[in-house]
Structure 1
Amino acid sequence: MKNALLFIIAFFAIATAFSQKPYKEKASFDYIRLALQPLPSDIKNYKGEVILTYKEKVNGERDARQAQIDAANEKNAKARKEYDDKSFGEKLGNKALLGTKGPTIVDVPVHENYYPIIHNESSVAGTYLKINGYGSAPDNSLKITAYLDGFQYTTEEKMANKSVKKDGATVVVNTFAYLVRYKHPIKLIIESEAAGVIYEGYVEATNREITAKTKYYNSREELQNYWTAGQNGFLGPLDTRISKLCMEATNDELNSLYGVSKITREISVWLVKGKKYDYADYQSAYEYAVMGYGKLAEEGSNAKAFEYIKKGIDGWEAALKESEPKNKKARVNDKVTAVTRLNLAEAYIWINDYSNAELQLDKTRFLDLNKFTRLAAKQKGLVDDQKARFEANK
Structure 2
Amino acid sequence: MRLPITLLGTALCLTLSAHAQSIDPQKVTFDYVRLPLVPVPAGTHTFQPEVLLRYEDAVKQQKADHQTAVADAKTKAEQAKQEYKAQSFGAKALNRLVLDERKPGEAVIPPADYTAQVYDGKSLASTYVHVSGLQASQGSGDLHVTVSLDGFTQGPITPLAVQGSQVKVGGAALGDGVKHAYEVSYKSPMYVKVAAKDGTVLLDEMIEATNTYTVAKTEAFATEEGLNKYWRTNQNAFMRQLDENLLKSNMKLVTEYLDSKFGQRPVTRNTSIIVISDKKVNYDEYPQAYEKALMGYKMLADPSRATDAQKQIGEAIALWNKALAEANPKDKKARIDEKVMAATLFNAAEANVWLNNFDEAERLLARLKLLDISRYNELAKELSVVVQDQRTRYSANKKS
Normalised by the length of structure 2, the TM-score is 0.77
Equivalent of 1:161 in 163, 172, 177: 163
1:132 corresponds to which residue?
132
Q: C-alpha deviations, 1:218-274, integer Å up to 9, x for none?
A: 343333333332334433333233212221222222232222222222223323455
Count of residue pairs brought into register by the alignment: 369
Give structure 1 stretches of 5+ with no counterpart.
1-9, 77-93
1:391 corresponds to which residue?
395
Instruction: Answer yes or no: is the 8 Å Cα contact 2:35–2:393 preserved in 1.
Output: yes
Q: Name whichever of 340-349 and 236-245 sits farther off.
A: 236-245
2:315 corresponds to which residue?
311
1:350 corresponds to which residue?
354
Equivalent of 1:295 in 299, 315, 323: 299
Letter in 1 for 2:133: G
Tell me the CA shift for residue 294 of structure 1: 1.1
Tell me the CA shift for residue 382 of structure 1: 1.4
Letter in 2 for 1:145: T
1:58 corresponds to which residue?
59
Tell me the CA shift for residue 276 of structure 1: 4.7
Q: C-alpha deviations, 1:108-141, integer Å up to 9, x for none?
A: 67x7543333221011112322222233334562
Name the CA distance, whole Å, in 1 between partners of 2:237 and 2:365.
50
Are positions 1:210 and 2:214 aligned together?
Answer: yes
Q: Name whichever of 335-344 and 351-360 sits farther off.
A: 335-344
3-state SS of paired residue (1:18): helix
**Following superposition of structure 1 onto structure 2, how do residues 1-394 of structure 1 map, counting pairs within 5 Å?**
17-19=17-19, 20-62=21-63, 65=66, 105-106=106-107, 113-137=113-137, 138-139=139-140, 141-154=142-155, 155-164=157-166, 173-274=177-278, 276-394=280-398
Tell me the CA shift for residue 275 of structure 1: 5.5
Letter in 2 for 1:342: F
Letter in 2 for 1:335: K
**For the structure 1 residues 340 and 245, does the alpha-carbon distance in structure 2 shift closer, same or farther, using more than 3 Å as the test?**
farther
Name the CA distance, whole Å, in 2 between partners of 1:176 and 1:273.
64
Give structure 2 stretches of 5+ with no counterpart.
1-9, 78-91, 97-102
Name the CA distance, whole Å, in 2 between partners of 1:238 and 1:12.
68
**For the structure 1 residues 14 and 63, does the alpha-carbon distance in structure 2 shift closer, same or farther, using more than 3 Å as the test?**
farther
Instruction: Answer yes or no: is the 8 Å Cα contact 1:42–1:140 preserved in 2.
Output: no
Instruction: Answer yes or no: is the 8 Å Cα contact 2:167–2:222 preserved in 1.
Output: no
1:82 corresponds to which residue?
none
Instruction: Answer yes or no: is the 8 Å Cα contact 1:18–1:275 preserved in 2.
Output: no
3-state SS of paired residue (2:222): coil
Letter in 1 for 2:397: N
Name the CA distance, whole Å, in 2 between partners of 1:333 and 1:366.
14
3-state SS of paired residue (1:200): strand
Name the CA distance, whole Å, in 2 between partners of 1:326 and 1:172.
67
Tell me the CA shift for residue 335 of structure 1: 2.8
**For the structure 1 residues 11 and 107, does the alpha-carbon distance in structure 2 shift closer, same or farther, using more than 3 Å as the test?**
farther
Name the CA distance, whole Å, in 1 between partners of 2:250 and 2:75.
43
Instruction: Answer yes or no: is the 8 Å Cα contact 1:128–1:248 preserved in 2.
Output: yes
3-state SS of paired residue (2:57): helix
Tell me the CA shift for residue 73 of structure 1: 9.6
Q: C-alpha deviations, 1:187-244, integer Å up to 9, x for none?
A: 1222234353332220122223333333433343333333332334433333233212
3-state SS of paired residue (2:395): helix
Name the CA distance, whole Å, in 2 between partners of 1:222 and 1:14.
77
